[in-house]
Amino acid sequence: MAQAKKFKTFKEFWPEYMRLHSRPITRGIHYAGTLGGFALAAAGITMASPALVIAAPLFTYGLLFPSHPIFEKNVPATLKNPFMSVGGDLKLLYCWMTGRIRDEYEKHGLDYTGKTGNNQNDPAVIRPSESTTRGPSLLSGIRNKLRRSFNKPKPEANDNNGPAPDSGPDTKPSGPTPSP
Separation between Cα atoms, residue 150 and residue 143, nearest integer Å:
11
- The number of angstroms, rounded, from the C-alpha of 63 to the middle of its chain's C-alpha atoms is 14
Give me the pLDDT at residue 80, please: 85
Its pTM stands at 0.62
Residue 5 or residue 179, greater confidence? 5
81-140 pLDDT, tens digit per residue, is 899 999 999 999 999 999 999 999 999 988 888 876 555 444 433 344 444 444 555 666
Mean pLDDT of 67-73: 87
Give me the pLDDT at residue 177, please: 60
Give me the pLDDT at residue 98, please: 95
Residue 120 or residue 158, greater confidence? 158
Give me the pLDDT at residue 7, please: 87
- The number of angstroms, rounded, from the C-alpha of 166 to the middle of its chain's C-alpha atoms is 47
Residue 30: CB atoms within 10 A of its CB come to 21
Separation between Cα atoms, residue 119 and residue 63, nearest integer Å:
19
The two most distant CA atoms of the chain are separated, in Å, by 102
For the chain, domain boundaries: 10-134
Separation between Cα atoms, residue 20 and residue 4, nearest integer Å:
14
Separation between Cα atoms, residue 137 and residue 134, nearest integer Å:
8
**Nearest-10 Cα torsion for 136, 28, 56, 5:** 100
3-34 pLDDT, tens digit per residue, is 457 789 999 999 999 998 989 999 999 999 99
Is the model's pLDDT at 38 over the cut of 70?
yes
Mean pLDDT of 65-73: 88
Is the model's pLDDT at 54 over the cut of 80?
yes
**Nearest-10 Cα torsion for 78, 95, 68, 125:** -120
